[in-house]
Structure 1
């Protein structure tokens, strides 16, 4: 089974990479560390199984996405899709019957990982760790199942030990309770054989005791009946006495026929109490009203007629107080605003003596813009005049400076200087000539040349000075022209300045400002005037608001005053009249307080009147209810109270109620006694009607001439007549109770003796016990048999498994590692000729036989490279045994091999590549060179940061050398 194509779309460093047209032999993929070789090995080892979440895989960019095309042994194609952590999707092409029911590779993931993906970690793990699972994978040949036999055998032995211990002793573990039951039953069966002699004698004694007990029970029953009768009489003795007393009291009551009816005494008492309460409330309220107002009835009527207005005005007092409060606040604000605004005006300009002067100033936006423009023009003219004056001054200075630069030139002066200097040098030369001719001639010559040079320089300077004087005069003429123009411009600006000063004077007159105020000051005053006008406007609004508030409160007070004037005669005698027209802003607070005080007094009187009226209304309702109540009672009295005085009417109502209550209470007392008598009779009947009491009454030989209840009461009455007092009844009861206790004690003794005899008879019943013992023995043996069978089965099965394992290991020990020995011999060039298993095949180690027939007892004595060669040989041997042939991955597994052993290992891989596809992942150029020299059909790919590039053996070798 070979991988033909690998499409890695998203896996760690690989993003959209492909390996196409892969060969069937060795495929070499070379690259530097962290280029993606290990990630590629993880992809190939997980192709048929899918990616698991708990494995240490490089993270995807989005989701794992790998596609693979496989060629199976018959040339058929299989497509595999791996998405995320889900199971791989496998599509079989041109395969009708599914031969891969156990999985595509027919081995589990762990076996494929340990055998076919060989990295340095796997080789070291095999040599360093004793793992029976890994050892079974390496040895193969059924060892995967053989390693499970010790565990299964141990479990079977443990189960057998739970049942019967190590040796199966029946007196231990689960066997013990059944064995003990069998022993007890055998002993009981032996004892029961000799107990058949006294059984008949005990039976006869038991029969006589039973007859005696029956006679005693009849005697006890009669005694109990008499006690029950006396207990009933004793228990109800007090009820019977109460019955006699009530019958005597009922005979003392006498009633007319009209008096016998239903009385509602509670209702009458409640009406009486309510009436008295309402009457007291009315009298108190009426007295309070008259003391506060007047005894005149018209006073209350007038108050109630104006109830709505008084209530409205009273409810509005808080609003009036709030209006007064707001008015005072506005007044205070108005006064403060007036004073503050006047102070601002005076502070701004003493000439502004009133608000009207400020209001007359036109400060609209157009006028303000014109003022700003004029001030800007004025400021511009003034600045230009300053600039012109400065220019004129500068021109004068420049002209004076240029005039000083003109210098006069005199040629005669320069000629005289030349003559004198020449004459001096010639005289000096002649004098020195006589002393030293050469020196004298030199002085004369030098003096002549120096004089000529001096004359030339002076001539040049004089010519330059003339030209400079001409230029200076021309500059002076230009300055003079500009100076004249500037003077003309200055005159025009002065005329404009005079005109702008006149405009500024007009603004000063409008704003009533002093002539000393500058243009900037005019602008500031203009702004101040505009600001003050705005504040004056707000001031006027505040004044208007004050007037409106004052008018509103005056109108409200006028309406209240009209109402108050109606009550001048009786309710506010000591208060003076208030004229609303005389109220002004100064006395509004006091006037308002006086009027509101009168409103509160009126409202207080109104509340008292309403309270009195309400009390009277409640009293009238109660009177009407009383009349209706008495009328329903059909009393033979006159309840018409219309012509009585109010005081007599109240007394009559109370007397009528008291009379009704007195008759009702007497009749109620009579009915209560009658009901008590009925209850006592019912209780006595209840006591008599019991089952036992009925049996007692049957003994009383009476004919039932009346109803059953009356007959029972008469019988009970006759029974009580037999006893003159309760003490006599108690004495008979105590005597009978003592006799009854003696009978009970005798009966208990007889019953105990009977039970003892019965138990002895039961103990002597040997036939039944023998049968029971036999049954217990059979039952214990039947329960013991399955446990014994289980114990035998578990131990036998464990023994069979252990023998099978021993025989298997003995038969296969010499044949296990023959192929691995040949491969190791080839890799080590015959240095190690054979591999032998350990005595314990499950131990993760091997013996090795050297060329000189010496035996290395453990791989721990080998070098690291030799140990890795040993386990590599075992893996290659095991790979050859597994069918179908699966892809093999080698990830730098030979780094600890020397060059000779690496070359031999490559030869072994070339042989393996004839049947298996081998992926060699490496970063070593030497390994690529060896493969290139020994395997012509090998394919080569360069891997760099997750990118594949097809290459040749030589190119890949050179590339790896540069790393």
Structure 2
């Protein structure tokens, strides 16, 4: 197992640090004191087990958080481990999210990993710091294996058992020693008191003699009864197994003459089941072959035609399969073309309706007429210009006419005003003044005839008034002349404007006539009347142009449809051609009551091709199945012959005969084996019956009495022979049962007499003194038994412990620390050869190069002692599986230069199978790992740790940093 990536979010001084692409072998982390190396060791130590709630650990700033990507090199799977707070580690399969127990990656317990795989300077001692006496046993188990720890307990157990035995029976175990003595004294005292109480009277002696006679009689009857019962047990066994014995004798005689015993060894009887199954398969395949051929013949009309067409269909199978695979695609194309043709017809019909709606004079030929029209975009633009220009001209003409009318009106108004001013001219005024003066004078004269004064005043004042009025009017004549001049000038200007507007109107009318002439040509081209407005011409032109575009598009689609129809017809024709060839070659004429048309786009023709193709495809499948089954039949036939051990067969009948003959031989052999098995079963049943405790005891009793030496089985058969028929055996058995009943009754009466006599003797002998004596004897015997039993158990247990320890140590001492021996020899330059655990396994002795021994680790120097315990740990690590990461925290500081070099080489070898993390603050140790890499050793990865921050480095840079 290898750690590929490690992210430390929060752990003491280490905050938000990530180590990517960690080396799978050596990882050297260098840093000064208090840089965080020990904290990093704690992270690695608890990665697979969770962070314990201990005050000895560096505290988290917020909450412990560690993430790691771990590679299992056995399965090749990548796992993700997450530590958060004091919770258990969460381990998931990377990329899947499946959660697994972290113990699958770290199968050893936390104590073993912490004290074996994590190697600090304090742990390279017989009893590392911080390990209690209770934990030393677990440490021994980790260093030597669980079995050796159990062996280490054996001497302690032996001492306990020996001490317990000594406390009971002393050194010798005599009855007069320690715990035995009180019980022996009690027995002796009880026996003495019993002897005194057993002084019997004459009646007691007589009853004793009678009791003895009765016991002798009971013993004699008991022996007779045992013999009778033994005889009964034997006869009952023969009686219960009479048919088995008879069958066994019959089977033994039949087997000697059975034909199964003469079956040659070349017959492969063991293949019987396979041959039966294969022959059933062969028969089934033959039946299928026959049914399929009849089905093909029925479809084709005759067996001769089926035989002829079968090979033909098999040869055409690829073509028919290809046609069938393409049939759905061809059907889709055919249906698509039909839909496209229907849509084209519908579109043409709609265009015809549009043309008729546009121009009722165009009938069915309207599409062709529109198709022939040469409509150009430039012409449309001209019509647009004409319409626009015509509209502009009409607007200008209307404006010009309005202005012309305005000018005419102005001209008329000016002329009228001139005419009014001309009426007030000076000549016309003097005449008026003269006649007015005369009128007033005449009137005054007339009045003066009647009223002279009034007539004179009227004439004078009237003439004076006319004079005054004439003077006033004469003063305005100059202004009138100027006004007339102005009006005549305006009249001339308006007249010129009217002339110019008339010229403009004439010009616009001329241009309008030219545009109307051009539009008339277009209208004539489009079949429109001359009276159509320019905008209507434009709209009509656009409508015709749009229809022409649709016609062009439909013409292109129709051409494409026709081309696809030709291609589809060629493909269908190819199928039809092959089908026709099959029908011609097989002599089958396709006659469905109609003539097949060659227009393959017709529904009737296409459906006929599909029906014929399906029929021939089904026939082809039948032919292929016939061929497959035929091949399978031949294969099964060959398999049958091979299983029977034959090379070939002559004909069908011979195969069946050979199979029948083989099965007959198999049956004979099977019957023979069944009879033999039955014989063996009977013999075993008889042997079990003869070997039962009851029968064995009976035969033993009778044999000792009669002096027979035959086995129980032979005696059973001999007894069977004495009784030719079961009835004679049954009579003998019943007679024996009656004899046993008589003996049991007689024995019961004797025992009853014995019991009565014993009761009488008990009454004579059971005094208070005798009871106390018996009680003392029983109590002493009971206590002595218990103490003796306990003494024997303790002595036996001590002896077993001694023997087990001696035997185990004799076998295992030389094998226990083989790897550690090799590592120690390398570390010490062959000065130390072997590490030998002592009897209690609590320490080691050492064999030196010269053959001498050092009895314990206390006599070693500090450096050598650390080398010993480093060798023991590394040796144990190399033996354990799986390969978990190893952490070494500056535990080599007491090694001199040469021994340090050897230790680095050993660690380099370990890194080939394990990921090894080295924490150090010593540049010379880094130098050794750099030198190891240069000497073709395993490559190392170097990291610089500075105040809790990791930096990727190389060996030279790290040495310089630590110097």
TM range (shorter): 0.3 to 0.5
| Higher CA-based Rg | 1
TM-score when normalising by structure 2: 0.44
TM-score when normalising by structure 1: 0.44
